[in-house]
Amino acid sequence: VIGERIARLHAGMSGTRGGAAAVMQFDASSGQVRFAGLGNIVASLCDGDGVRGMPSHPGIVGAQFRKAQPFDFPHADGKLLVMHSDGLQSRWNLRDHPGLFSRHPRIVAALLLRDYTRGRDDCCVFVMRLGGMQ
């Protein structure tokens, strides 16, 4: 499923400058995330104890890439998925902001944009809670 979605994105962006993209699938019954990213997309699973990075493959959707191998991440239920473009600094840490993890994902995204935007680049941030709070 994820490979098919990446292929459709690639076909749809052919003939353009191309771009970065990521596709994520969350299985609520198992609590597992399947993720594939291409290009300058950063994705992380966050909980109250820390952050686990989700690797993206080099390449340009619509132009060139080898294959977007998906990665599986078990035990993701209740975690925050944070995805952002390279316009956001990579040094952010939710633990630097006590109580932030339990706030609404829009609040988390707004704080990341406010405090960690590089300033010289466009920036996109996406935050969602997977399943329920733990």
The CATH number for 83's domain is 3.60.40.10
Tell me if 111 is assigned to some domain: yes
Q: What is the pLDDT of residues 100-122, one digit of tens each?
A: 999 999 999 999 999 999 877 78
**Structural domain tally of the chain?**
1
Q: What is the 3-state secondary structure (H, E, C) of the chain?
A: CHHHHHHHHHHHHCCCCCECEEEEEEECCCCEEEEEEECCEEEEEEECCEEEEECCECCEECCECCCCCCEEECCCCCCEEEEEECCECCCCCHHHCCCHHHCCHHHHHHHHHHHHECCCCCCCEEEEECCCCC
Tell me if 134 is assigned to some domain: no
- Residue 122 has a pLDDT of 86
pTM of the full structure: 0.89
Q: How confident is the model at residue 48 (pLDDT cuts 50, 70, 90)?
A: confident
Tell me if 85 is assigned to some domain: yes
> Is residue 134 over pLDDT 60?
no
- Residue 106 has a pLDDT of 97
Tell me if 101 is assigned to some domain: yes
Domain assignment of residue 99, given as a range: 2-129
